[in-house]
Amino acid sequence: MSNISRMMKRNWIQTSYLSPAQVLVIGFALVILLGALLLTLPQASASGHRLPFLDALFTATSATCVTGLVVVDTGTHFTILGQLVILSLIQVGGLGFMSMSILIAMLMGQKIGLRSRLLVQEAFNQLSPAGMVKLTRKVFVTTLTIEFIGAIILSLRWLREFPAPRAFYYGFFHSISAFCNAGFDLLGDFRSLTPYQEDPVISLTVAFLIILGGLGFTVINELYKYPKQKYLSLHSKMVLRVTGLLLLVGTILIFLLEYTNPQTLAPLSFGGKLLTSFFQSVTCRTAGYNTLIIGQMTNASLFVMVILMFIGASPGSTGGGIKTSTFGAMLLAIKSTINGQDDVEFNEKRISREIVRRSFAITALAMFLVIIATIILNVSEAGAVQNNRSFLNLLFEVVSAFGTVGLTTGITPHLTPVGKLLIIIMMFIGRLGPLTIAVALAARRKKGSFRYPEDKIIVG
């Protein structure tokens, strides 16, 4: 035990010159590489043959970045060993590898220093390093509790169809995947949850697991304490209102746009139409499960989903995107500009201009990345014969990767090697980019010794 402790301490000292953001990026990359190597083992594939390294790297990146895009079918291609490797990567990716490292260190009796607390602060996008060890413990307990409850509900439902071992295995796998907003499924043939589009138990259980995972641990903690404390921070109020608004708008638009589509909602009952529309509104906020065949949806619905995927989940959650609070801050800034107000206000509080400026900067950077990636993907896939590789479908694929969503119109398994590498990069940036950009913009703010004279330009 002492040798392991000394080794961990030496590794921390050797990386002390790295910034917290750099440690997170390198840590996630190493976890992905390890997962990819494990998935290339013959024992991980049902066929007994090694999975090509690029496909293994794609799968490991998708799992660690809790995305859900796959180039091989998880339920049929991988053995139990391969599926458990994927599930472990999902859990590490959802909690964050730093949180797992802190938990292991705590179990080993290690003292958690300031640097480790700063890394956890970076990982959970918190404003202060105070209370990071306590937060890590709460995150771990909360995650296991919610996943266990979801797993029991799903397992009891699947007992109607499968033998007990398989039902419970499915229940726990899909509960963890849903709460971590990963979207990996074991049902086979790339079906996701389409066989259960009118099943309220599975659809609603998975939907609420996705919502809870996408709210962020800070918000979940405040909601848990609310009955006693009757208090919600401004951040939690913003997240809850924007999340509710996006879920409502998404449900209504998908319901209306797909209502008469004979390939999606038209054959369903009215209740089934509402349930399926709600589920798709939930899942395209970074989860990756689907109860409709995405490639058969109308272009209008696909574009609505692109917008929802781009916004994504909330800070400190298991999801990606530019985040709900970022979107909310921009909406309030636009509203204040239209009303001629100097301050951006929400719930009788003033939001600082630095936060508003950072929100617009994050969104602009994200849009730039998506545009560049979409152009490259259109070029790399130009020679493909597949009919569904339209501009909108390729844009959908890029935004799904960046938002760590995992939904696809069906083109993921058929991407060229260049396309696969591009999507791998976008998944990695989507999981870490917005977070590290936000922290970098906040931490590297410098005030000069003098200020230039102010002038004006014409905009708008």
**Residue 120 above 60 pLDDT?**
no
What pLDDT is recorded for position 441? Answer: 42
Average of per-residue pLDDT across 262-286 = 93
Residue 243 binned pLDDT confidence (cut-offs 50, 70, 90)? very high
Q: How many helices (H) and strands (E) does the chain have?
A: 18, 2
What pLDDT is recorded for position 106? Answer: 53
User: So where are the chain's domains?
Assistant: 2-443
The pLDDT > 90 percentage for the chain reads 53
More confident site: 169 or 21: 169
Which of 317, 333, 358 minimizes the C-alpha distance to 441? 358
**Which range, 53-62, 119-128, 377-386, 442-451, has the best average confidence (pLDDT)?**
53-62
Measured between alpha carbons, how far is 370 from 395 in angstroms, rounded to an integer? 8
Average of per-residue pLDDT across 278-302 = 91
What pLDDT is recorded for position 170? Answer: 96
Q: Give me the long-range contacts of 139-146 (CB less than 8 A, separation at least 24).
A: 139/95, 139/99, 139/217, 140/95, 140/99, 140/103, 142/217, 142/220, 142/221, 142/224, 143/94, 143/95, 143/179, 146/179, 146/209, 146/212, 146/213
Measured between alpha carbons, how far is 330 from 324 in angstroms, rounded to an integer? 10
Distances (CA, A) of 209 to 3, 149, 198, 297, 441: 40, 10, 18, 24, 32
Residue 431 binned pLDDT confidence (cut-offs 50, 70, 90)? confident
Cα-Cα end-to-end distance for the chain: 64
Query: Which residue's structure tokens are 């995947």?
Result: 177
Decide: 318 and 179 in contact? Cβ < 8 Å. Answer: yes
Measured between alpha carbons, how far is 86 from 41 in angstroms, rounded to an integer? 13
Query: Which residue's structure tokens are 């990996």?
Result: 184
Measured between alpha carbons, how far is 356 from 213 in angstroms, rounded to an integer? 25
Residue 429 binned pLDDT confidence (cut-offs 50, 70, 90)? confident
Average pLDDT score, the chain = 83
* pLDDT tens per residue, range 291-332: 999 989 999 999 999 999 999 988 877 778 899 999 999 999
**Residue 100 above 70 pLDDT?**
no
349, β-bridge pairs: 346
Average of per-residue pLDDT across 375-387 = 77
